[in-house]
Structure 1
Amino acid sequence: MGDESRQRIVRVPGSRRARLTPAPGTDPAPDVATDSTAKDAAASASRAAKGPNDDRLIQDIPPHY
């Protein structure tokens, strides 16, 4: 059993939480959406079908305003 086969706990100065080192055999780089993917998702969300009450709900002002 080698020590390299396990994650280690790393203390972060000035932080209340510790961090784990990347697990062996994994990619620690975050998955980042490309700009075209984000634009496609925003466009599909704006094209979503509206219900019969959506315009009314958008125009209503809550009583606490």
Structure 2
Amino acid sequence: MSTERQRVERVPGSRRARLTPAPGTDTTPETTNGPDAGKTPASGPNDDRLRSDVPPHY
């Protein structure tokens, strides 16, 4: 039985607590943020227009 476990940590100035990473997990994100983050190389002809459109309630 493993004694290493996640712990609850208090965050100063916040109402929510935070869990420490689970043992044996990778905490680095799989994707990067940026202008090219969600683009796929095989885009359709309307993809750029759909991404730039703003809903009418804005």
TM-score by length of 2: 0.53
Q: CA deviation at 1:34?
A: 7.6
Q: CA deviation at 1:48?
A: 4.3
1:22-48 CA-partner distances (Å, limit 9, x unpaired): 00000111222386x63743871x524
Q: Which residue is equivalent to 1:8?
A: 7
Q: Which residue is equivalent to 1:31?
A: 30
- Larger radius of gyration between Structure 1 and Structure 2: 1
Query: Structure 2 regions of 5+ residues with no counterpart?
Result: 48-52
Query: Structure 1 regions of 5+ residues with no counterpart?
Result: 50-57
The 1:30/1:38 distance shift into structure 2, 3 A limit, reads closer
The 1:43/1:16 distance shift into structure 2, 3 A limit, reads farther
Q: Which residue is equivalent to 2:18?
A: 19
Give the helix-richer structure, 1 or 2: 1
* Partner Cα distance (1:8, 1:15) in 2: 17
TM-score by length of 1: 0.49
How many residue pairs get matched? Answer: 48
Moved segments of 4+, more than 4 Å: none
